[in-house]
Structure 1
């Protein structure tokens, strides 16, 4: 067994043992971190690895949350099947978005993805007979063997293994031909094309993968919160997800976890000063950009390298 997979197995074992030492509410928070991290992971893949700008992640998470919920309400399709179906649908939308934006880049690409988020949110608010409109939708509870999952403990053992699987999938993609193609796109689309990379296909694939992960995260987060509010799937939420990966590290899959943990835990730490949440996140974002351009994950990598060099005596 390679050292890499030994690390993955060790991390998974630690995560599975954690609930036995933590309160139920903390498990609920960990579940929210996991579902948020799945959505953020999609942005790491499309922005950090493939070099494409996207402000559509909230739209993709809305597709995952609403489609799986509507499938459960109207067709009786359980979330175990509804969320994968919704994620595949979001992936198709993401692939089409990539096709439509082939010749776009920079702020033009940002505007197009922002427009998609705005369109999806308008549909959620005004298609009231289907989506519930501005009042939102109640999400049917997830059940296993006829028993509804209502505690943070039970949701943890659903969401965290799913998140672990998504991150393992992303890690394997990065080490594959697809990951190398994404990296080439990030460096230069023109240079990538001269090297034989199908820019049209891989750019669309990056958006499809981001959309798929966004829908999975959105679907499970809807189950955790048990209610869908269309106001939580807008442009501001897409920008917040981008801020999460910038703070955590937009070129590292670990950065998605770090940024998501900060996003979920900081509001609780503020206590009575909830009104300053936006200011705190803005300050964190500014400090990260100025002092730690590679994010907190990059800072961790630097510290680990220095500690390793001190232990082994080898300069790095």
Structure 2
């Protein structure tokens, strides 16, 4: 990607996002914030599934680790949310690393079933441990406090979430072009070939799971600041399937796919209006159309359209 193009585009994006709340309605601010946090969650799938080729259906479970972990530690130990959120993300990454190591004996659909079972177990624990998680009733999320300032307004949560998303995507942009990004790519294409190149397949798969889990936890914790309340129904197996579907629509192997997919997922109920009750059907039809027309997702489709533009004629 041309650096001369991406650098001005990045500055323009930062400028637009920075002044956005000054011209947007409160409802639009809430929607953009939700797109940012959802994009953080789904970007983890870009690493573990898009790059490393490992199918996972545990993203909602790791979101729960981030949201409940940050909330419960803050509520019971008195730590501020700005400190518990990164702690929850790191702990979730460690759990993801462990899951990656434990699932080394399985791959493909069997790996998906393992992560599916893990997600189901986590959701059952959320419901059946009322003394810890609040059970089916849920749990109130403590507000985000920075020193003596309580950040509760939509605009304040917007800036926290958008800045976090920019940091995450900048880090992933560099990761993809690093040695580990190339290792993940080799792992996706062939584990045998990756081993022949001297890549530690066991460690690479575990690290991919760890990054995905950490990002899911971070996004889940940030999203809980917006919802202000945790409900176990937010973290079901169906939610994990929805996140994977979002990435298929956006494009699994492109970072832009996480943004495109998240935007469609969040904005679709707003665009449907009175037809909101048919969202499941319409979302399924969009997913089917993307698979047939653009199997690599919208991110790759837009990239191909941009490359088809006529080249600039130099004098």
TM-score, normalization: structure 2?
A: 0.96
* 1-structure distance, mates of 2:221, 2:54: 24
* 1-structure distance, mates of 2:33, 2:72: 22
Structure-2 residue corresponding to 1:147: 149
User: SS in structure 2 opposite 1:312?
Assistant: coil
Residue 101 of structure 1 and its aligned partner are, at CA, apart by 1.1
Structure-2 residue corresponding to 1:88: 90
The 5 Å alignment of 1:244-263 reads 244-263=246-265
- Are residue 305 (structure 1) and residue 307 (structure 2) matched? yes
Residue 78 of structure 1 and its aligned partner are, at CA, apart by 1.2
Structure-2 residue corresponding to 1:125: 127
- Structure 2, unmatched stretches of 5+, are none
Q: Which moved more, 1:72-81 or 1:119-128?
A: 72-81
Does the 8 Å CA contact 2:48/2:209 hold for their aligned counterparts? yes
String of CA shifts for 1:259-309, please: whole Å, max 9, x gaps: 0011011011222222211111101100000001111111110111011xx
User: SS in structure 2 opposite 1:148?
Assistant: strand
The 5 Å alignment of 1:218-257 reads 218-257=220-259
String of CA shifts for 1:161-188, please: whole Å, max 9, x gaps: 0011000010010010000000000100
* 2-structure distance, mates of 1:17, 1:180: 36
Does the 8 Å CA contact 1:26/1:152 hold for their aligned counterparts? no
* 1-structure distance, mates of 2:193, 2:74: 46
Residue 6 of structure 1 and its aligned partner are, at CA, apart by 4.1
The 5 Å alignment of 1:187-198 reads 187-198=189-200
- Are residue 293 (structure 1) and residue 295 (structure 2) matched? yes
Residue 4 of structure 1 and its aligned partner are, at CA, apart by 3.9
User: Residue 209 of structure 2: which of 207, 210, 214 is its match?
Assistant: 207
The alignment's C-alpha RMSD in Å is 1.4
Structure-2 residue corresponding to 1:169: 171
User: SS in structure 2 opposite 1:32?
Assistant: helix
Does the 8 Å CA contact 1:59/1:116 hold for their aligned counterparts? yes
Does the 8 Å CA contact 1:28/1:151 hold for their aligned counterparts? no
Structure-1 residue corresponding to 2:48: 46
User: Residue 282 of structure 1: which of 277, 281, 284 is its match?
Assistant: 284
User: SS in structure 1 opposite 2:308?
Assistant: helix
User: Residue 20 of structure 1: which of 15, 22, 25 is its match?
Assistant: 22
- Structure 1, unmatched stretches of 5+, are none
* 1-structure distance, mates of 2:87, 2:147: 21
Does the 8 Å CA contact 2:93/2:211 hold for their aligned counterparts? yes
User: SS in structure 1 opposite 2:143?
Assistant: coil
Report the number of matched residues: 312
User: SS in structure 2 opposite 1:196?
Assistant: coil
User: SS in structure 2 opposite 1:33?
Assistant: helix
Residue 142 of structure 1 and its aligned partner are, at CA, apart by 1.4
